[in-house]
């Protein structure tokens, strides 16, 4: 195939792709919705429950033992499946704020986001933060109001909150018949003359049965609930709350869907909307300006590195979002950071923990490059014409602890494990000449990251560790002169360390008062704010 023909084919295949993330506050039902979408797309035959209780399976996207035990997602996962002639790449993300960096990296690799809202709780702290990231990255957002089969708030009240808090016009595409906790069915706003009624399956393991009622039947059988829903839809239409595709893609509106993921209610309508409404991949912004066209030679962004997903093989996989051109397994590409060639011999299509060999991938697809030890999070790969995509964010850590091997005879495994977790971005690893590499300082956004480190070091690397908390809460970027000043200060309690990942100098302080004291003592010293995950 000629270069021109290859570019046209890449653009044609990209039009069939939908690459999106599911984002939410913890416990809003994100992993359950992920399973439900895969179930309705016939990618799996039985959905699991998030907590895996009473003999139920855990969700396909939660493969880590800690995730299965706690019933939460602590790392992002990739699920690829087909629906209505389209290929969907679903990136499930951690909801907990302690894992913000992983979620932010995933959002650099998607074209759309599904924002999940708990019908009872409405907009929560982490939802707000993640939406701000979507707005900053110009990612259009589809909203799914979940758990409508449980008691909750009024539908109109939730729409008002979305508009007030996000300055985003909600435009319902589906609407509930019956209040939260008394769901009678759903109305597809595009076909308001009918109602969809659902019959749940035990445990939500299979699709809910969906029956269609005419408006006359709905009025007869549902009475006041149908009349209320019809009246609310009239009010919304009169107020102009009608889906507009251009406004949605521009980030001015959000299509809204109602349902219950654990009961598989309303999930099919959301899945269809991802095909009909979510944008296909487009040109990607380059570092320094300009864009990389879909038709350009191959380029891709490494947005995640994960080791030991398969306990039987103990390998390492780098997740690559194809941004332009055609990815071909076995081709030799260039790693932009080093300018050196990289062979793509082992490439997999990923579905949670499961994977299969992939020979070709197109813009929007996510490819797992196995045993890609040279690759790091944020790397750009390309062929022919050079390309570099913007760097991934690194957040200001707020928790610090010295890590030491619990068994000194396992020191080699300890160093290897810490290095691997640093490269994956599980934590930031800081070092100093005083402590050496036998006692690195682990820096995290939140304490649960330390739990992940401890569990993985013991389970995957056979190197249990001891963590000794340090009394620091703030980090600032500095330089060699600032680090030297902090280490010789007699008035300030602080410490300067080097971040292994990028060799950046970080100054650590116990509180803002100590920062101010240092600035007064050394007014010429450099202290720069770092990007904060909790702002």
- The H-assigned helical ranges of 78-203 are 100-107, 125-136, 155-166
Cα–Cα distance, 188 to 192 (Å, whole number): 6
The three-point CA angle 401-403-407 to 5° equals 150
What angle do the packed helices 224-238 and 215-222 form, to 10 degrees? 130
Residue keyed to tokens 């030991």: 308
Asked if residue 123 lies in contact with residue 23, where contact means CB atoms within 8 angstroms, the answer is: no
Tokens, residue 20:
């999106």
Distance of CA 190 to the CA centre of its chain: 30
Residue 96 labeled ligand binder: yes
End-to-end CA distance of the chain: 49
Residue 94 labeled ligand binder: yes
Q: Is 209 exposed, middle or buried (0-12, 13-18, 19+ CB in 10 A)?
A: exposed
Residue 95 labeled ligand binder: yes
Asked if residue 63 lies in contact with residue 46, where contact means CB atoms within 8 angstroms, the answer is: no
Give just the sign of the alpha carbon dihedral 410, 415, 419, 422: positive
**99 three-state secondary structure:** helix
Asked if residue 333 lies in contact with residue 367, where contact means CB atoms within 8 angstroms, the answer is: no
Binding-site residues, please? Answer: 92-96
Binding-site residues for GTP, please? Answer: 92-96
């Amino acid at each position: 195939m000629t270069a021109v023909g290859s570019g046209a084919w890449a653009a044609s295949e990209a039009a069939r792709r939908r690459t999106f993330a599911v984002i939410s506050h913890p416990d809003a039902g994100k992993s359950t919705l992920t399973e439900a979408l895969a179930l309705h797309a016939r990618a799996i035959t039985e959905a699991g429950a998030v907590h895996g209780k009473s003999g139920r399976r855990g969700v396909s996207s939660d493969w880590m033992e800690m995730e299965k035990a706690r019933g939460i997602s602590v790392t992002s996962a990739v699920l690829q499946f087909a629906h209505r002639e389209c290929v969907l790449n679903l990136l499930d993300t951690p909801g907990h704020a302690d894992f913000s960096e992983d979620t932010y990296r995933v959002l650099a690799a998607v074209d759309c986001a599904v924002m999940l809202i708990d019908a009872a709780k409405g907009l929560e702290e982490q939802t707000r933060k993640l939406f701000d990231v979507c707005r900053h990255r110009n990612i259009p957002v589809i909203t799914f109001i979940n758990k409508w089969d449980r008691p909750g708030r009024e539908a109109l009240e939730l729409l008002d909150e979305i508009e007030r808090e996000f300055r985003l016009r909600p435009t319902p595409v589906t609407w509930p018949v019956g209040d939260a906790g008394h769901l009678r069915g759903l109305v597809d706003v595009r076909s308001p003359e009918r109602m969809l009624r659902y019959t749940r399956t035990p445990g939500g393991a299979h699709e809910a049965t969906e029956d269609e009622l005419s408006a006359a039947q709905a009025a007869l059988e549902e009475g006041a609930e149908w009349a209320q829903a019809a009246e609310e839809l009239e009010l919304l239409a009169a107020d102009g709350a009608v889906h507009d595709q251009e406004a949605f893609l521009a980030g001015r509106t959000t299509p809204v869907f109602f349902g219950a993921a654990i009961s598989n209610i309303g999930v099919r309508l959301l899945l269809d909307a991802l095909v009909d409404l979510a944008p296909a991949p487009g040109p990607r912004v380059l570092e320094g300006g300009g864009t990389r066209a879909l038709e350009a030679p191959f380029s891709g962004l490494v947005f995640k590195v994960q080791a030991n997903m398969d306990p039987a093989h103990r390998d390492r996989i780098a997740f690559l979002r194809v941004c332009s051109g055609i990815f071909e397994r076995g081709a030799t590409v260039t790693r932009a950071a080093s300018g050196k060639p990289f062979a793509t011999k082992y490439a997999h299509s990923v579905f949670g923990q499961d994977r299969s060999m992939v020979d070709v991938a197109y813009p929007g697809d996510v490819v797992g490059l196995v045993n890609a030890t040279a690759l790091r999070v944020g790397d750009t790969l390309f062929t022919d014409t050079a390309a570099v995509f913007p760097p991934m964010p690194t957040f200001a850590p707020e928790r610090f602890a010295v890590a030491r091997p619990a068994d000194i005879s396992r020191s080699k495994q300890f160093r290897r494990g810490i290095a691997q977790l640093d490269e994956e971005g599980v934590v930031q690893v800081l070092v100093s000449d005083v402590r050496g590499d036998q006692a690195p300082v682990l820096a995290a956004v939140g304490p649960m990251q330390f739990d992940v480190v401890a569990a993985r070091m013991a389970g995957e690397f056979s190197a249990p560790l001891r963590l000794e908390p340090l009394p620091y809460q703030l980090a600032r970027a500095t330089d060699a002169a600032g680090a030297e000043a902090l280490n010789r200060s007699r008035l300030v309690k602080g410490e300067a360390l080097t971040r292994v990942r990028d060799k950046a100098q970080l100054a650590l302080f116990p509180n803002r008062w100590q920062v101010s004291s240092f600035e007064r003592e050394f007014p010429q010293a450099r202290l720069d704010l770092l990007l904060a995950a909790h702002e």
